[in-house]
Amino acid sequence: MISITEAEEIHQILINTFGGSQGIWDLNALNSALARPFQIFGDKELYSTPTYKAAALIESIVVNHPFVDGNKRTGYVLMRLFLMSKGFDIEATQDEKYNFVISIASGNLKFDEIVQGLKNHIRTPLNLP
C-alpha cells in the first residue's frame, strides 16, 4: 500500500517539476483513495489483481481530488508506480496516456472501462530482482 507520506512526496515532486499548487486538499479523500485498492469484504479482496487495484487507485485519486492541484498527474504516477512494484508497466503513447487520464477525470471512463484500458496497455513482466 502507498502511504500518505509517499503520496505527498510524489505529489510535491510533480508540482515542483511541472508547476501548480502543493498541498493536500482533503486528507480523508486521500486516505480513502490509497486504501480503496486493498479493501476486503469478509475474507475476499474486492480488487484481487494488480490491474484492478491500479484502476481503483487512479480512479479514486483523479475523481476525488484529494490534492489542491495535480490530481491527474499524481493519480497516474501513483498508479504506474504501483504497477511497476508488481512487475508490470504501461506501454502507450503520450497521447494515449493523456486521453486515458482525461477520460477518467471527465467521467467518460468508469471503473470497468478503466480496468479494460489498463489491460489493453499493460506489459509484463518487468525484470525485478
Burial 60-91, CB ≥16 within 10 A → b, else e: bbbbbbbbebbbbbbbbbbbbebbeebebebe
Residue 112 to residues 15, 42, 55: CA-CA distances in angstroms?
Answer: 29, 22, 8
User: 3-state DSSP call for residue 40?
Assistant: strand
Cell numbers 492541484 correspond to 69
| Exposure of 123 in the CB half-sphere (CA atoms within 13 A) | 6
Tell me what pLDDT residue 1 has.
85
Q: Is this prediction's pTM over 0.85?
A: yes
Query: Per residue of the chain (129 residues), what is the pLDDT tens digit?
Result: 899 999 999 999 999 999 999 999 999 999 999 999 999 999 999 999 999 999 999 999 999 999 999 999 999 999 999 999 999 999 999 999 999 999 999 999 999 999 999 999 998 765 544
Alpha-carbon gap, residue 98 to 31, rounded angstroms = 25
Q: Does domain 4-123 have CATH number 1.20.120.1870?
A: yes
The pLDDT assigned to 127 comes to: 53
A 10 A CB-CB count for 115 gives: 19
- pLDDT value of position 126: 56
DSSP-derived 3-state class of residue 90: strand
> Could you state, in order of their start, the residue ranges of all structural domains in the chain?
4-123
- Paired with 40 in beta bridges are 45
